[in-house]
């Protein structure tokens, strides 16, 4: 992933749904499971909710491969905290990653001295749609993870691919912002 396009201007964020269901990382986004959702661009929607200490997120991509989101930058890949995942049959893979430069490859946090801070995850793939759900702490204490703060715009970058190899260049990509609310 080299650079990303300019961030998409978004209207003020209001809750879209009252969270009525317990969060289950099963790869199925259901009504009442997430409080917020947004289309980040062609081919990727993000849904999220938070507790006092965690974020729970779903990435729903129109692709046959990996989906990913990065926190902490809105342009180049330098210093980005990136989470990517894919589904291979019954096997779901979600990676906690970091990019030290604006060029690939993105590396797993554990390969650069960090920790894998994905607490729970799941996913599905059917009919050209890949859904990855994951949970992580807002502040992991890992120097390779971006601390997510309530009530502040968080720059994000995103990408989707038709390959399960996270090292393969994206098919679509972009940037935007999200806001975490209590």
CA proximity to 24, closest of 146, 140, 163, 131: 131
Calpha distance 109→129 (Å, rounded): 27
- What does each of the 182 residues of the chain score in pLDDT, given as a tens digit? 334 444 444 444 455 666 778 899 999 999 889 999 999 998 999 999 999 999 999 999 999 999 999 998 756 677 889 999 999 999 999 999 998 776 666 889 999 999 999 999 999 999 999 999 999 999 999 999 999 999 999 999 999 999 998 888 888 999 899 998 87
Interior/surface letters 42-76, b for 16+ CB within 10 angstroms, e for the rest: ebbbbbbbbeeebbbbbbbbbbbbbbbbbbbbbeb
Domains of the chain: 36-179 (2.60.40.1190)
77 Cβ contact partners less than 8 Å away, ≥ 6 residues apart? 1, 2, 3, 70, 99, 101, 102, 103, 104, 106, 157
């Amino acid at each position: 992933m080299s650079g990303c396009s300019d961030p998409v201007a978004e209207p003020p964020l209001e809750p879209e749904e009252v969270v009525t269901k317990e969060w289950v990382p099963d790869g199925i986004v259901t009504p009442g499971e997430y409080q917020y959702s947004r289309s980040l661009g062609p081919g990727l929607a993000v849904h999220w909710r938070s507790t006092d200490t965690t974020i729970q997120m779903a990435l729903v991509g129109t692709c046959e491969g990996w989906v990913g989101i990065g926190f902490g930058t809105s342009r180049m890949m330098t210093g980005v905290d990136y989470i990517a995942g894919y589904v291979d049959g019954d096997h779901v893979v979600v990676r906690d990653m970091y990019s030290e430069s604006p060029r690939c490859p993105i590396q797993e946090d554990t390969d650069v001295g960090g920790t894998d801070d994905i607490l729970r995850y799941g996913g599905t793939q059917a009919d050209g749609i890949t859904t990855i759900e994951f949970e992580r702490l807002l502040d992991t204490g890992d120097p390779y993870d971006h601390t997510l703060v309530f009530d502040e715009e968080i720059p994000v970058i995103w990408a989707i691919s038709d390959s399960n190899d996270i090292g393969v260049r994206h098919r679509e990509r972009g940037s935007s912002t999200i806001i975490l609310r209590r």
